[in-house]
Amino acid sequence: MSVKIRLSRGGTKKRPYYYIVVADSASPRDGRYIEQIGTHNPLLPKDSADRVKLDVERAKHWLSVGAQPTDRVLRFLDAAGLMKREARNNPTKAKPRKKRLEREAAAAAAEGGEAKPAA
Domain membership flag for residue 92: no
> Which of the 8 DSSP states describes residue 116?
P
Domain membership flag for residue 34: yes
Domain membership flag for residue 59: yes
Domain membership flag for residue 12: yes
- pTM (global) more than 0.75: no
Q: Is the dihedral of CA 77, 80, 86, 88 positive or negative?
A: positive
Instruction: Look at the chain and report how many structural domains it folds into.
Output: 1
List, in sequence order, every residue forming a beta bridge with 68; answer none if it has no partner: 4
Domain membership flag for residue 90: no
Element at 7 (helix H, strand E): strand 3-12
pLDDT tens-digit map of 24-60: 999 988 889 999 999 999 999 999 999 999 999 999 9
Domain membership flag for residue 101: no
Structural domain harbouring 43: 3-80
CATH number at residue 18: 3.30.1320.10
> Which of the 8 DSSP states describes residue 69?
E
Number of residues written out for the chain:
119
